[in-house]
């Protein structure tokens, strides 16, 4: 069965420091996509970063980078130079490469940035 596991229900980080949010996935597919979304308290889901299973380089988007270790089936999100506005829920998601393009989500990690 395809599954996303986020083992950190909550994390604290000091402002301006870096933080890593863990994500492991389970799939037998060779081709898939991995996503990270941010959900502030208002509820909307904000796309952060994408990694394809065949991408050889780790994805980066501004202060966000994805530490992709295919053999370990992990796709950890690294946020550098944390800001107070980074406090939110963070969800890792996987898209199997079937025709549906649906997303399978993990249970999320709540990040709190301390001033």
Partner 1 sequence: DGGITQSPKYLFRKEGQNVTLSCEQNLNHDAMYWYRQDPGQGLRLIYYSQIVNDFQKGDIAEGYSVSREKKESFPLTVTSAQKNPTAFYLCASNSGNTEAFFGQGTRLTVV
Q: Which stretch binds partner 1 (CB under 8 A): 21-29, 60-68, 80-88, 95-103?
A: 95-103
The answer to whether residue 13 forms part of the interface with partner 1 (CB under 8 A) is no
Candidate segments 15-23, 67-75, 78-86, 90-98, binder of partner 1 by CB under 8 A: 90-98
- Identify which range of 11-19, 22-30, 75-83, 106-114 contacts partner 1 by CB under 8 A: 106-114
Give yes or no for residue 11 binding partner 1 (CB under 8 A): no
Can you say how many angstroms the Cα of residue 5 is from the centroid of all Cα atoms in its chain?
Answer: 11
Q: Does 38 bind partner 1 (CB under 8 A)?
A: no
CA–CA separation, 86 and 40 (whole Å): 8
């Amino acid at each position: 069965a395809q599954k996303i596991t986020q083992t950190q229900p909550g994390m604290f980080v000091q402002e301006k420091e870096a933080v890593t949010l863990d994500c492991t996935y389970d799939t037998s597919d060779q081709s898939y996509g991995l996503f990270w979304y941010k959900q502030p308290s208002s509820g909307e889901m904000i796309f952060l970063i994408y990694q394809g299973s065949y991408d050889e380089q780790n994805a980066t988007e501004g202060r966000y980078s994805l530490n992709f270790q295919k053999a370990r089936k992990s796709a950890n999100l690294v946020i550098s130079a944390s800001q107070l506005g980074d406090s939110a829920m963070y969800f890792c998601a996987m898209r199997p490469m079937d025709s549906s393009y649906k997303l399978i989500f993990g249970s999320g990690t709540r990040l709190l940035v301390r001033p």
